[in-house]
Chains A and B, each alone.
Chain A
Amino acid sequence: MLSSYLIFFTFSLYAGTQYEQAIQEPINQLHETLINIMVISDTTSFEERYTYLEPVINKNFDTALISKVILGRYWKSIDEKIKVRFINLFNRLTISTYISRFNSYDNQIFKNISIEQLKENRYLVKTEFLRLKEKPISFNYIIQKNGKKWRIISVIANGINDLSLKRAEYAAIIKKDGFEVLVKKLEQKIYDLQPN
């Protein structure tokens, strides 16, 4: 009887660990790739690093959901073709921004801190980006299960939620100048992020 309980307890622990690993996996993949991108930043071109990072972002970010939340109420008023166009544009912006920011290596490391449940199939994963001479940066991620796959739906750096930030910014541009102006501004940002 005791051995049955022990087997059940051990299995539960193992299953719990497996579950947490599955939640953590997209973030680990992203962090590993970002470190590699920093390491090779001096010896590779922007385009090469873009090609290297692109599949990792496509696989681990739920860009469709992120785009929907960012555009808020405006999302419902645009047709499917424009939605897909915006998702692709936002994806390119995400990749270009990561490559632009993570552009030099000085023994930085990512450290996993904790995993906390927000609701069913949605977790908050806390991590830190440790730097040699500067204060650590807190990188928290909201991760959600979409089908069988866990994907990142929000990044929060030192308390600043990138998704909320963009949602406010894009709403202001759409309200003032319209959706096409927003698209042009994002295209310009992507262009500006690339080295001359």
Chain B
Amino acid sequence: MVSFYYLKVLKQIIFLALFCVLVGCATTQTTDKYTKDDSLEPANRVFFDINETLDQALIKPVAEVYADVTPNFIRTSITNFFENLAYLNVILNDLLQGKINQGLSDTVRFVANSTMGIGGLFDVATPMGLPENDEDFGQTLAVWGVDEGSYLYLPFFGPNTVRDSTDFVPSTLLNPFFYISSTILFPVTAINAVNKRANLLEASNIRDEAAVDPYSFTREAYLQQREYLIHDGNPPITGYDDVFSVDDEQNDGSGVLKIE
């Protein structure tokens, strides 16, 4: 039974979804393919700075300690457990995208990991030839032809787009944890958040090592990674060298220089 508290949360989610749709309607779409729509950049940068400060001061140090003291096999099981719980959303989006075979495979994967994998703690499905897939409602909307809209950097949630932020609704409603008591929900959510952050330590260190403008780096990496996922790792090759096509139009031959 859904408690009163969760009805309140649900109302907030619907409000957020409506807000996202309204923001999507209000934003201006750019026509230049290499000027991504970041019309909310000033606000995005503020939220980015807040998140980064919070991360550096609190979340990252906690995640580092957690990663140091938690044996790898326990971390793997915790990751498996939360990923399995979130997998109903993957199955739904398989089907919404018309990927029937993948949907069936992911359903068997979910059942196998939930039963033989002891509630998802162990990934028994991958060795059985049932690979993990990555689908969400943002990808589904993209497959349906919905434009990504403005880039959003959300407090706590990080990089997003108007289109991708809609996944918050099905991923929350399809996660069994949404329907349990808050006394269990909050500590479990905290463990999930710290575990996720710990899994991203290497990636975030690479970003810190490489980026000269971390905000732009995060935005570009996120948007490109989304394109990659939408096309299941095989984006159309016509888009691969567009960045050079822009340059070709302006090409005056001055790019050919010898390195001294």
Contacts and interface: CB of A to CB of B under 8 A. Distances in A.
Contacts of B213: 169-170, 172-173
A43 to B, nearest CB: 23
Interface in B229-260: 229, 233, 235, 237, 240-241, 243-244, 247, 250, 252, 254-260
Contacts of A15: none
Contacts of B244: 69, 122, 142, 153-154
Contacts of A88: 259-260
B226 to A, nearest CB: 9
B228 A167 contact: no
A116 B237 contact: yes
Interface stretch (B110-118, B170-178, B186-194, B204-212): B204-212
A146 B256 contact: yes
A136 B69 CA distance: 27
A7 B255 CA distance: 42
B216 interface: yes
Contacts of B217: 165, 168-169
A80 interface: yes
Contacts, number: 115
Given A142-B241, A169-B212, A68 B259 contact: no
B256 A65 contact: yes
A121 to B, nearest CB: 11
Interface in A124-148: 124, 138, 140, 142, 146
Interface in A38-95: 58, 63-65, 67-69, 72-73, 75-76, 80, 83-84, 87-88, 91
B212 A164 contact: no
B209 to A, nearest CB: 7
A104 B124 CA distance: 29
Interface of B: 34, 36, 206, 209-213, 215-217, 219-221, 224-225, 227-229, 233, 235, 237, 240-241, 243-244, 247, 250, 252, 254-260
Q: Which 7 A-B pairs have CB atoms at the shortest separation, nearest pair first?
A: A159-B228, A68-B255, A64-B257, A172-B216, A185-B212, A169-B216, A169-B213
Interface of A: 58, 63-65, 67-69, 72-73, 75-76, 80, 83-84, 87-88, 91, 97, 100-101, 116, 118-119, 122, 124, 138, 140, 142, 146, 153-154, 156, 158-161, 163-165, 167-173, 182, 185-186, 189, 192-193
Given A156-B240, A160-B225, A164-B243, 13 more contacts: A68-B247, A75-B255, A76-B254, A88-B260, A119-B241, A124-B240, A146-B256, A154-B243, A159-B233, A159-B235, A164-B224, A169-B217, A173-B212
